[in-house]
Structures are given as C-alpha cells and as structure tokens.
Amino acid sequence: MNGSSAYCMLNIRKTLISFQLSFPRNNYAKPGAMMGGALKKKKLGKMGPTMEKKVLPVETDPIKLATFVCGANIYKTGEEVALKPNEEYPDWLWDIRLGSPPPLEELDPNSKEYWRRIRKMAMRRNNKISQLKQF
C-alpha cells in the first residue's frame, strides 16, 4: 500500500464518521417545559367540578343485623329482606369455601379449574421473567 492510498482511506473514514455523526434537527417535538406546565393546566379546566364522596349509611343496630339482610334491597322504598331459619336454606350453602382458594395439590388434575390455575401461574411466571430481562 502506498502513502497516497492510505491518505485516501483516512479521508474516506473521516467523511464517513462525520457524516454518521451529523444529525438533522427538525425540532418536531415541543419543548419539555411547555408539555409539562401548559398542557396540564388546560386539562384541569376541562375535567369539571370535583365530586364529593357519598357517605353510605351503615346499619349499627345488632337486632336488625341479626334478623335482616341489610343492604340487599336495591329499591328506594320497601323493607330489607328478612333472614329465614337455617333449615330452610340448602345444605350446599353451608359447605361453600369462604377462605382462600384450595391449594393446587387438592385440585383434581382432570378438572378445568386445575388447568386454569396452572395457566395463570405460568403467565405470572413468564411476566416476572420478562420484567427481569434487561434490554
């Protein structure tokens, strides 16, 4: 390689590097101060008046709580539904599991509930793994 070809290669590299590092500035985006300050102030006026939370009445009478289903009446008029004796309700009502769902070991592997739980656990695991991956 002679000296002139090496000089030519150096010039080509300089032009390529300088060409790659020059970015055009078109200024399409708005400045950050305008986005944060002015736009938020405009949105506040369009939201309207603030709503106050409604305070729902809570029944505190123990006799009424023991004899009626308080809060079950959806109508403005009328009275609450009265509780019946335990013998009038079906037997399966007393066997309903009220706590946490059964562990996976207690479920039948041939049931839909088992496989739904497996799928849900796999999705949670995959989501955790994808969050841990760094780009």
pLDDT of residue 110: 96
**118 has a pLDDT exceeding 90:** yes
Nearest CA to 66 among 53, 80, 54? Answer: 80
| Per-residue confidence band for 52, with pLDDT thresholds at 50, 70 and 90 | confident
Give domain limits for the chain: 59-96, 100-135
Distance (Å, whole) CA 67 – CA 59: 12
Q: Which position has the token pair 């150096």?
A: 10
Please, which pLDDT band fits residue 8 given cuts at 50, 70 and 90? Answer: low
In a 10 Å sphere around its CB, with 0-12 CB exposed, 13-18 middle and 19+ buried, how is residue 70 labelled? middle
Q: Return the H-helix or E-strand segment holding 69.
A: strand 68-69
pLDDT in tens, 88-114: 999 999 999 899 989 999 999 999 999
- Residue 91 or 12, more confident: 91
